[in-house]
Structure 1
């Protein structure tokens, strides 16, 4: 604390009797031995059983571990901090902390990947919907074009029919006038009737020939029931495929095969199955090397190589 904080600290009633020391004075104080004493059922834990890798008080050792040759913790603790066991535990702790940090990074990465995939899926859906709308617009435009062409053909056909009917009307009117009994009688009427026979025959042939081209074309819209059924289906536009985004860090080959790791490899030679034991002697960022017990040549594996699955840790 600075001087100001120290002064405010003493204003509180519960803190008026607190004693403050300088950093130099604090560094000279001996460590409180009571903090190192760990008890079990009000008895100090003083023994370590190496066979079972547990610690216990006197009662625990007498009742269950007398034949295990227990050792005093005070003897073992003197050099424990600088020993391999403590370093191994500390390394495992550091590795787990690193895995936790990596897992946090993977989770953040997974969140980003989820958002990215979601945006991509949404874009794909929108693009497909646009493509469908474009196809429907083109199909509608094609039908409208056919309707327009048919109306144009009917207009031409109608003009032809009107022209033929006008000619028929004129021809029939002439024949009708020649057969009018008020205008012609007796011999004249007979002569006109004879002449009208051939004229009527010509008119009939002309009408029969023209009637083939005088039909107008009607139209009717027929729905595509297959498309309608597809649109009414459960997923007419498409579906979603879900995939697992791994957010937990996995144990890598490099972590599994460290220097000193004992391994064995199975193989087949001359129709005989054999097992080769060995020891990992070297590990780099991308490879690790195994020295075999009964073979002259060492083997170097790539960490990312699938062949590492053939190795088993002993």
Structure 2
């Protein structure tokens, strides 16, 4: 272990001689003036009445007292030995035992010398400020963590809402298909009932006619001539009635029907392992999952009220981010294949009159980028202006939408390279 900067007696110079540009070895240390002096300077020093009580301490003794004083930290590993050495190679301080055990081959410095060199330097100032800087960062991180904790419940509530909404939509659709199928069956049933009712009436009418003819024949049994005449006269009627019976018999048919499952629906149901899939933001950023992209560079501000927001990364400022990739100061729409609205909401409050601007770098496949104003409870899956409490300008058709899905012509359509400005609160949606 090589120790540099550790002062032996012959390394101390006389301070008064140094002030006269003379290099003289110190013979001792004046404990009253706290200066190293040679014998000549100390004797001259004591000639003055005010300095006659001053004492000159041996340099070795002064160093020993200095090392045992509270100026040194105590080593926690070696029975409170003073921490007197610094290893620059490992950036560690320790007592003599620490240096012998762990830094035998290192070049170490004397702590007091390093401390004297460090005092009032920018390095020390920077070092002492680091705790507060780190503390500020930690507080900012803690605030972000607390915001994320709030978002945990919000995201889960939204997730459950979307699952239940999809279930309701699916159930409604299936119920509609079931009702339509049942109506088809009811129509066939009503048609067959109507047909059978008609045949039933016709058959009963023929039975009545035959009963009349039968009664007529029975009344003529005692008179052969009358029976003959009656049989001849009723023969054509009987033939007609038999013909009607044969016709009814041929029409006495119903159309059997049964329910056949739709093969596509059956196959889909059998293949389903889940109602859907839970997709985290990190999956949305996977380029293999991105079907189409619309890219914009957001929040270029020209007023002081928005400069503080721009200085903070978008990823740290995001309050809500769905189907949108955040890359530095760029937002990219990431379609999941269902055409869901992409949304980025900045959690920083923007006061009235603040001017914000985005630059269109790519329109994607559809180019339906919209800017507008909404309340904080606006549904995240709806384009701007389509619902109450919202107004939005849509760049694909240049129309302004206000509280409904029908827009009015407002301005030009957007193209790559266009810059679009907005004042007050901004919400960006994409599809």
Question: How far did residue 195 of structure 1 move?
Answer: 4.9
Gaps spanning 5+ residues in structure 1: where? 1-32, 246-283, 287-301, 306-314
- Counterparts in 2 of 1:189 and 1:228: CA distance versus 1, 3 Å: farther
Higher relative contact order (CA 8 A, sep 6+): 1
Deviation track 1:192-212 (CA, whole Å, cap 9, x = no partner) reads: 445554433322222222344
Paired residue for 1:163, among 185, 191, 201?
201
CA root-mean-square deviation: 4.4
Distance in 2, matches of 1:240 and 1:145, equals 35
Question: How far did residue 143 of structure 1 move?
Answer: 4.9
Instruction: Determine helix, strand or coil for the equivalent of 2:83.
Output: strand
Higher helix share: 1
| Corresponding residue of 1:243 | 280
Residue 140 (structure 2) pairs with residue 102 (structure 1): yes
The correspondence of residues 25-104 of structure 1 with structure 2, limited to 5 A, is 34=70, 36-39=72-75, 40-61=78-99, 68-90=106-128, 92-104=130-142
Max Rg structure? 1
The correspondence of residues 151-300 of structure 1 with structure 2, limited to 5 A, is 152-154=190-192, 156-180=194-218, 182-183=220-221, 185-215=223-253, 230=269, 235=274, 238-241=275-278, 243=280
| Corresponding residue of 2:294 | none
The two structures have a TM-score, normalised by structure 1, of 0.52
Distance in 2, matches of 1:69 and 1:229, equals 75
Distance in 2, matches of 1:243 and 1:100, equals 26
The two structures have a TM-score, normalised by structure 2, of 0.40
- Counterparts in 2 of 1:65 and 1:185: CA distance versus 1, 3 Å: closer
| Corresponding residue of 2:173 | 135
- Counterparts in 2 of 1:141 and 1:94: CA distance versus 1, 3 Å: same
- Counterparts in 2 of 1:81 and 1:179: CA distance versus 1, 3 Å: farther
- Counterparts in 2 of 1:185 and 1:221: CA distance versus 1, 3 Å: farther
- Counterparts in 2 of 1:86 and 1:115: CA distance versus 1, 3 Å: same
Gaps spanning 5+ residues in structure 2: where? 1-68, 283-309, 313-326, 331-431
Distance in 2, matches of 1:211 and 1:184, equals 35
Contact 1:178–1:184, Cα closer than 8 Å, also in 2: no
Question: How far did residue 285 of structure 1 move?
Answer: 5.3
| Corresponding residue of 1:126 | 164
Q: How many residue pairs were aligned? A: 219
